[in-house]
Structure 1
Amino acid sequence: MILSHHPMSIDHAFLLRVHIMLERIHLAILSAIEEQGTLTQAAETLNLTQSALSHSIKKLEGQIGTPIWEKQGRSLRLTSAGRRIHALSRRLLPQFEHTELLLKQIAKGEMGSLRIGMECHPCYQWLLKVVAPFLEQWPAVDVDVRQEFQFGGLRALFDYEIDMLVTPDPLFKPELEYFPVFGYEHRLVVAKSHPLAEQQWVSPQQLSNEVLFTYPVEPERLDIFSQFLNPAKCSVRQHKVIETTEIMLQMVASGRGICALPGWLVQEYESSLPITSLRIGKQGIQKDIYLGIRKGDEQIPYVSEFINLAKKTS
């Protein structure tokens, strides 16, 4: 039995009518219907017979007094009521699965697992320096680093796909907690042959004729735009997206354009590539790397200890 009240996406009056009879299986059925489209495929996904699946939903429809889905040819379409229950399932089912996983680990004598999402591709080498001593101190905790979330991990954190997010650009939400772990300077990177290479710092106007390479992140989340170009009402000649740091710096070294990266990362490549960096603006752009978690998870001992270790590892 599920009691849930969420002001953002679920109508309270509707939930007050259904919370007494709404069960996890209903959430699973509607999620499968929405994903699979047909009763047959949904039943196969859930290892149920079609009749059992239909009976469960018909009973719920009778209790709440409104249909949950409608037939459209061979497919099923969720009604307004069905869509509201499905919205609830998208939030609660991952939490059920996450809790069940933890319970299974406890039953096996394991303490748990820490799934880390990366929104900071250059931070991977730094993270390894934190993971190594953590694994020594917590032998019963497994660690998994998932880089597929490097350009959009917030949703994964909300959906319990990861337990911690490494990011230089936190989006502060009431349900989340962010911990700054180390600071750095964001630097403009140019080829050593570039006209700007001899300068100590650059003004926004000086980039108006440049090709700027960035990671595939929304421009409003890129510091060179939000903290430098946009306030000065300036822009670049062209903005191109590249996913990998190595290729980005190769393009810069060949004189194809410029980019902005953490100063500590640029230093690692300056010895092997003809590149240099300069301050973005006279004062520069100072940044922090954050660890983001769901609020309350800092009370889990091994999560708290991982954050403490991260703060000590520059």
Structure 2
Amino acid sequence: MLDRHHLMILRAVNQQGSLTAAADTLCLTQSALSHSIRKLEQQLGTPVWQKEGRRLRLTQAGEYLLRLAERLLPQFEHAEALMQQFASGQRGTLRIGMECHPCYQWLLKVVNPYLQQWPDVDVDVRQKFQFGGMGALYGHEIDLLVTPDPLLRSGLIFEPVFDYEQVLVVGPEHPLQGQLQVEPDQLSQDTLITYPVEPDRLDIFNRFLTPAGCSPRRHKQIETTDIMLQMVAAGRGVAALPGWLVSEYQQRLPLHPLRLGPKGVDKQIFLGLRKDDINTDYLHAFVELARTHNTLTPRPDHHAAD
């Protein structure tokens, strides 16, 4: 009654916005696509679309089938891709999802030796997910999730791979330069530069500023680490980043890290994967290799006294 072809049509219409565009994507005629959906509706005994002028709106039944399509179709497509790789003599592709913007530099240190050790495995890195990183793992969009904020869920495992300290980084002319630590109220006149992430998911807010009832004068979002730290070095704002990353950039930029509060903000990076995949050799090998490439974070006061 209900097969993969119907789910593909629903997803294509939702993505393309019209029957005509969806038909082109699926290499079908519009009439063939419409006939297929009408036949499905007859079999189900309920409509999946309703017309609103020239537009189509999914019914409740259609919305359910669309969610089903978005969960199941990536798994079909992943399985088919794997079968093609197996048939051509390749082991597969390791798809890594990133929920940690500053972790790309660390990831590169792991990927390079991994590719040498596993020549028959490709690596693909993804940052944007339809349903977030957790949904991407569940939906088989990715095989590993790099995240500092794991959420324990049935069927998933999160392996810690290294510890680090989140620090505040300021430029050479900043009034806080030379101090060992910073308190939340001392940022009330600063421009805080962060990655484009919701504030409630940023440690500088949820573990430092918000509990103290404080906020920066301005919050500015920048996507790239290089531009962010150049802005900080030029006195255009401050940023909260992993201490190990700041230490690397100090080799070419005048940056000064400060501890966030007297105890600091300690963090871990985790690799999340599905329990069913834990014994997959090339996934397990990546996790083990990641542990050997942990980055020891110099304490901020080592630099603040320079």
**Shorter-normalised TM range:** 0.7 to 0.9
Tell me the distance in 1 between the aligned counterparts of 2:35 and 2:230.
Answer: 61
Task: Find the counterpart in structure 2 of residue 265 from structure 1.
Answer: 245
Q: Does 1:186 align with 2:180?
A: no
User: Can you list the C-alpha shifts for 1:124-150, whole angstroms capped at 9, x where unaligned?
Assistant: 22222212222222221111223556x
Structure 1 outlier segments of 4+, above 6 Å: none
Q: Tell me, yes or no, if structure 1 residue 43 matches structure 2 residue 2.
A: no
Query: Which residue does the alignment assign to 1:244?
Result: 224
2:194 paired with 1:217: no
Query: CA 1:252/1:22 → structure 2, altered by over 3 Å: closer, same or farther?
Result: same
Map of 1:229-308 to 2, 5 A cutoff? 229-308=209-288
Per the alignment, residue 98 of structure 1 pairs with 78
Report the RMSD for the aligned CA atoms in angstroms. 2.0
> What corresponds to 1:58 in structure 2?
38
Change (3 A) 1:262 1:57: same
Equivalent residue, structure 2, for 1:309: 289
Residue type at the aligned position of 1:138: W
1:213 is paired with a residue whose SS is strand
Number of residue pairs matched? Answer: 292
Q: Cα 1:159–1:258, aligned 2, differ >3 Å: closer, same or farther?
A: same
- Gaps spanning 5+ residues in structure 1: where? 1-20
In the TM superposition, residue 159 of structure 1 has moved relative to its aligned partner by 4.1
Q: Is the 8 A contact 1:39 1:75 kept in 2?
A: no
Contact 1:116 1:165 in 2 (8 A): yes
> How far, CA to CA, are the matches of 1:271 and 1:64 in structure 2?
65
Q: What is the CA–CA distance in structure 2 between the aligned matches of 1:147 and 1:75, rounded to whole Å?
A: 32
Q: Counterparts of 2:244 and 2:238 in 1: how far apart (Å)?
A: 17
What is the alpha-carbon distance in structure 2 between the residues aligned to residue 283 and residue 158 of structure 1?
36
Gaps of 5+ in 2: 295-306
Q: Which amino acid aligns with 1:70?
A: Q
Q: In terms of mean alpha carbon deviation, does 299-308 or 47-56 score higher? A: 47-56
Query: CA separation of 1:40/1:211 partners in 2, compared to 1, >3 Å: closer, same or farther?
Result: closer
**TM-score normalized with structure 2 length:** 0.87
| Larger displacement relative to structure 2 (219-228 or 114-123) | 114-123
CA deviation after TM superposition for structure 1 residue 236, in Å: 1.6
Paired residue for 2:6? 26
Name the stretch that deviates more: 161-170 or 255-264: 161-170
Whole-Å Cα distance in 1 between the matches of residues 73 and 273 of structure 2?
19
Q: Summarize the Cα distance change of 1:35–1:129 in structure 2 as closer, same or farther, 3 Å threshold.
A: closer
How many Å separate the matches in 2 of 1:237 and 1:181?
Answer: 35
Q: Is the 8 A contact 1:94 1:159 kept in 2?
A: yes
Cα deviations by residue, 1:29-55 (Å, 9 ceiling, x for unpaired): 111222334333322221223343333
The one-letter amino acid of 1:234's match is C
Deviates more, 1:123-132 or 1:281-290: 123-132
Pair 1:90–1:123, CA change in 2 (3 A): same
Please say if 1:83 is aligned against 2:63: yes
Is the 8 Å Cα contact of residues 75 and 141 (structure 2) preserved in structure 1? no
Q: Secondary structure at the match of 2:212?
A: coil
Letter in 1 for 2:172: K
Which residue of the partner structure matches residue 226 of structure 1? 206
- Of residues 134, 142, 148 in structure 2, which corresponds to 1:168? 148
SS in 2 for 1:299: coil
How far 1:269 sits from its partner (Å)? 1.9
Give TM-score, length-normalised by structure 1. Answer: 0.85
How far apart in 2 are the matches of 1:282 and 1:59? Answer: 67
- Paired with 2:160 and 2:219, the residues of 1 have a C-alpha distance of 29
For 1:217, the aligned partner's letter is V
